[in-house]
Amino acid sequence: MMGPTRGLVCAATAEKTPADLAQKLSKCADKIDVVEVRLDLMTDPDIDGCLEAAGQLPSLFTNRPSWEGGKFAGNEQNRIQPLISAAQKGATYVDIELKTEHTLRQKCIAACQNAGAKVIVSQHNFQETPSPEVLIQTLEDLIQTGAYAGKIITTAKSAKDVRQTLTLLSLAQDSNFPLSTFCMGEAGQISRFSTLYLGGFMSYAAINSETATAPGQLSVDHLHSLITLFEHHAH
């Protein structure tokens, strides 16, 4: 499905059970490249069931803590262990937050990568787009972790914020570091599409507009229609 010059479309799911996940994915599997399983949003975070629901689709497991916009509010060890288990059971990708305590974060990265999963280290800013200096330092911090890829998500209030954030793609490419970066919020919606054609590793879309997991998130159908329109006219 992915063309040679487009990043991956990841369905950011908010389903509470593996059965719900399987049902929703059956309707959009042909429009996505990866499925993100949000363990922190599930009432039944059954890893085997989630992997089965993903089927042939590459899977990305995330267990987002409350301090980074997620729902997991327990012990950090208990948050990290399911991610390692997911890697050991065959997850394609695992997401771990940059702000996770250093020793625990590096232990998670090593364990997941030893199990064969690709680790994405992430940072989300729900308030603003930081200065270029802060963004560049964050990118350097992500690269230093030794993870496979990074994710830097900001909140845009203007086109300037969007330009500032997407500039990171050039720096990441110079370092051969796969980076997902775009902006949340209404002003940032254009970046969720454009990042795919500017060197971004992944963009995230909701399975439907009612289940968006972040402000300004497009639905899979909406993003897919933009991609189809753009690629049709590009030829």
193-232 pLDDT, tens digit per residue, is 999 999 999 999 999 877 777 778 899 999 999 999 998 8
143 close to 177: Cβ distance less than 8 angstroms: yes
Q: Domains of the chain (ranges plus CATH)?
A: 8-234 (3.20.20.70)
The pLDDT value recorded for residue 108 is 98
Q: In 3-state terms, what secondary structure has residue 173? A: helix
The pLDDT value recorded for residue 209 is 74
The pLDDT value recorded for residue 208 is 81
Active site residue 151: yes
Task: Catalytic residue, from 124, 222, 232, 233: name it.
Answer: 124
The pLDDT value recorded for residue 5 is 84
pLDDT digits (tens, 9 = 90+) for 189-202: 999 999 999 999 99
The pLDDT value recorded for residue 190 is 96
138 close to 98: Cβ distance less than 8 angstroms: yes
The pLDDT value recorded for residue 2 is 47
The pLDDT value recorded for residue 234 is 60
**Which residues of the chain have a pLDDT value below 70?**
1-4, 234-235
Residue 85 vs residues 30, 50, 146, 157, 219: alpha-carbon distances, Å: 27, 12, 20, 38, 29
Active site residue 99: no
Task: Catalytic residue, from 99, 107, 118, 151: name it.
Answer: 151
The pLDDT value recorded for residue 1 is 47
Sheet of strand 179-184: strand arrangement: 179-184, 149-155, 118-124, 93-97, 59-62, 34-38, 8-12, 202-206
